[in-house]
A and B are shown apart, each in its own frame.
Chain A
Amino acid sequence: MDRANVDTDMIIPKQFLKSIKRTGFGPNLFDEVRYLDEGQPGKDSSQRPLNPDFPLNQARYKGASVLLARENFGCGSSREHAPWALEDFGFRVLIAPSFADIFYNNCFKNGILPVVLPAEVVDQLFMELDATPGFELTADLQKQEVRTSDGRQWSFDVDSFRRHCLLNGLDDIGTTLQQADSIKAYEEKRKAEAPWLFTG
């Protein structure tokens, strides 16, 4: 996805946000740039005219699970429908020089790993991707590195708690609820200092 500032409106346009489900957004991922007509919820996307210029419509990217992108990917609205659509389509890893904050956070909650690599590296990867048919990238969360099939590698940072949750498929809520006593203790203390916050 060779463009900067890809926003969540582009990742999944608003008409699909009417759904009350978490699944089924994949066919409408990048809807406005992927198809030539206007998408509507409930419309069968397999019958729609594809935009031949859009990379994901090209045969060589079929089944891709790593998305290479430019800076500030995922900016705009907080809609979690964006990672839901990416995940539903089959993406597991996103690589970009930077991500918007809310989107970055939402990815981890949905089993997607957003990897930040320096802009020069991403640039180079885009060039190689263009030039090399069959180019493949792998991301290894355990070792925190991105690898090419010819064995070159770049390491990346990821917050250890998030890494732990992603690796172990942990439920955030369950983990937090183990601290129910601390939450209650905080509430008691806070109620004494700021009672007006607890009248509702």
Chain B
Amino acid sequence: MAGKTLYDKLWDAHLVDLRDDGSALLYIDRHLIHEVTSPQAFEGLRLAGRKPWRIGANLATADHNVPTTSAERLSGIDGITDEVSRLQVKTLDDNCADTGIVEFGLGDERQGIVHVMGPEQGATLPGMTIVCGDSHTSTHGAFGALAMGIGTSEVEHVLATQCLLQQKMKNMLVQVDGELPPGVTAKDVVLHIIGVIGTAGGTGHAIEFGGSTIRSLSIEGRMTVCNMAIEAGARAGMVAVDDTTIDYFRGRPFAPKGEHWDLAVKAWRDLVSDPDAEFDRVVTIDAADIEPQVTWGTSPEMVAGVRGRVPMLADMPSESARQSLQRALKYMGLKEGQALTDIQLDRIFIGSCTNSRIEDLRAAATVVKGRKVASSVKEALVVPGSGLVKKQAEQEGLDTVFTEAGFQWREPGCSMCLAMNADKLGQGEHCASTSNRNFEGRQGFGGRTHLVSPAMAAAAAIEGHFVDIRAWGN
């Protein structure tokens, strides 16, 4: 019999019951909660007279719908000027207080984007099953966990039963080997992968990212890759455990201590796919082929190397591909064949659960240090992923580097990644963004998003258009 994949192992270890029809009851170790997808779930529980099954398995924070200006954040919830948003954040507070679920509220330095906060606290660990009412929960697969986004009905189901009803997915391996060229980052790796397999390429699969390139990435870099597994169509992405993983969790507040730590490490060492494991699908990628990436269209698969051009209509393989290109060109205000470095930018956004960790801020700061944001750029934002990332960056003086260059230094939250709060694009504006979705309207009605790495966004801020980071600045 063939060996097991990492996904098989995580699945088997959490199986409570397998039904005859193939559906399974899977035990959930950690449930992260935020303000937008949970109110209806708590209400559902209340209406049915149910209680959370295991309170300690839950951890909450408000991130999606919180303002990021210091002025609004100074007075906590009461400082939120948008009434509807204030009620939503307050509802999370009330629900947590009622049930006894731990919440990092506004003003707590541990508050932040769920997917930054969880690993930072050691609240999400290798070997766990982790869910959250947010599709980018796949981020936590970076350290050998099975992590998936769920809908609100499932949030309620997990709260009430600590389990999730699941169908097993297929196994897919994306193997990236070789050394990354200078200037090419984890973000470029994952955008390149999506460019190769498409946004539905991983549908129905759990993707394991493997190979020497992936192993050479930091945990932060691996999180960036797994974060966007969902943009590749896969509900879960993961990377096997190695020393990098284990070192990352040592000493984190929620991580196991003493004897438990030793036991845990022993178990975590097994969180790798067996050498003879079989995958349903394997995609191999050579790191040497990866360039700094820029998305030009309205889906993450509409992506090219920064030296590239917007495709030509005549080159499209089918009529429907031609139509979708035409629609994207119209929405994005671009011409076929246009060079990506010609795209002029109105706004810059460095943040989101994809790229708002300390490593990302350092990479961006290195680029902007001693330089100025181009005068044609209306606004450039840096939004740290959590209060602790913000504090660390300030200790390193990165905030000053950014503000001296003309960036705004904000309070942690999702901010312009989904633009639920006041941080958004105006109609027709182009934005270099380190986030993960470039859908129509994602960052504001009529806004035009280009996804890039933090270093590429920083360089674009200085020049006012995209530049090839590999050849720039020296």
Shortest B39–chain A CB gap in Å is 4
Contact residues in A for B288 (Cβ distance below 8 Å): none
Q: Are A100 and B203 in contact (CB under 8 A)?
A: yes
| Whole-angstrom CA separation of A195 from B266 in the bound complex | 13
Residue-wise, chain B 67-99 has the 8 Å CB interface mask toward A (1 for contact) of 000000000000000101101100100000000
Q: Given the known A-B contacts A13-B441, A102-B151, are A195 and B263 also in contact in the complex, defined by CB atoms under 8 Å?
A: yes
Considering residues A76, A98, A160, which has the most beta carbons from chain B within 10 angstroms of its beta carbon? A76
Which residues in chain A, 21-64, are within 8 Å of chain B measured between CB atoms?
21-22, 32, 38, 41-42
Chain B residues lying within 8 Å of A70, measured Cβ to Cβ, are 320
Is the Cβ of A9 less than 8 Å from the Cβ of B84? no
Complex alpha-carbon distance, A72 and B25, angstroms: 26
How close is A6's CB to chain B, nearest CB, in angstroms? 10
Which segment of B160-168, B305-313, B348-356, B365-373 sits at the interface?
Answer: B160-168
Residue of B nearest to A83 (CB): B151
**Within the complex, which residue of A38, A42, A176, A190 is in contact with B165, where a contact is CB–CB below 8 Å?**
A176
Determine whether the beta carbon of B17 is less than 8 Å from that of A194. Answer: no
Answer whether residue B196 sits at the interface, using C-beta atoms and an 8 A cutoff. no
Task: Name the one of B17, B37, B50, B324 contacting A79, with C-beta atoms under 8 angstroms.
Answer: B37
A173 touches B419 (CB 8 A): no
A161 with B203: CB separation less than 8 A: no
Cα A15 to Cα B4 with chains together (Å): 43
The number of inter-chain residue pairs (CB within 8 angstroms) is 186
The reply to whether the CB of A77 lies closer than 8 angstroms to some CB of chain B is: yes
Known: A72-B203, A196-B256, A196-B260. A80 touches B23 (CB 8 A): no
Contact A161 B39, beta carbon cutoff 8 Å: no
Q: When the two chains form their complex, are residues A41 and B50 in contact, meaning their CB atoms are under 8 A apart?
A: no
User: Is the Cβ of A15 less than 8 Å from the Cβ of B21?
Assistant: no
Give the complex CA separation of A186 and B17 in angstroms: 9
Identify B204's interface contact among A32, A80, A101, CB under 8 A. A101
Nearest A-chain residue to B444, judged by Cβ: A38
Of the residues A21, A172, A190, A194, contact of B153 by C-beta under 8 Å:
A172
Judging by beta carbons under 8 Å apart, are B21 and A160 in contact? yes
CA distance A200 to B53 in the complex (A): 13
Interface string of A107-142 (1 = CB under 8 A from B): 001100000000000000000000000000000000
A173 touches B203 (CB 8 A): no
Minimal Cβ-Cβ distance residue in B for A19: B84
Contact size class for A? 35 or more
Residues of A with C-beta under 8 A to B185: none
B291 adjacent to chain A (CB < 8 Å)? no
Does B135 lie within 8 Å of A78, measured CB to CB?
yes
Contacts of B161 in A (CB 8 A): 173, 176-177, 180, 183
22 contacts between A and B (CB under 8 A): A4-B324, A5-B324, A9-B441, A14-B419, A17-B65, A22-B40, A22-B152, A32-B445, A42-B84, A75-B233, A76-B439, A77-B135, A78-B150, A83-B151, A101-B169, A101-B234, A162-B23, A176-B163, A179-B16, A180-B161, A183-B16, A196-B125
Interface residues, chain B, CB within 8 Å of chain A? 16-17, 19, 21-23, 25, 27, 29, 36-37, 39-40, 43, 48, 50, 53-54, 56-57, 64-65, 82, 84-85, 87-88, 91, 125, 127-128, 133-135, 149-154, 156-157, 160-163, 165, 167, 169, 199-200, 203-204, 233-235, 254, 256, 260-261, 263-264, 267, 299, 320, 323-324, 327, 418-420, 437, 439-442, 445-446
